[in-house]
Structure 1
């Protein structure tokens, strides 16, 4: 499952394959100054209201047999 960066409940970044990729994106965007490390003491890493969470991307492939009508009445 991909992950993305959110502010409140609005997704502000693209879906990326790993949580680490989202953290790197936040670092590149200067939202954080250093990547979080699992063994460090807790504390807010992202600014208030920002968070990383797993997303569910849904893709819908069109039916190959479907075609637009030749005429519209």
Structure 2
């Protein structure tokens, strides 16, 4: 599982997917979510604006698994 470091209280899911190099644009993030390829903490997620906090886990089908780590 790869750790993705954020420097704020939370990060929105679409921004997280870009930061984790899963997608390169917001449109690609939207498509990935609509196809049901993203799980957050084991649950399917379709909302691009979903806020992720330290400890949240994201699994992207065919890409990998990530966890959110906060550094101030």
TM > 0.5 fold call: no
Give the TM-score normalised by structure 2.
0.29
Q: Rg: which structure is higher? A: 1
Give the TM-score normalised by structure 1.
0.29
Higher helix share: 2
Higher strand share: 2
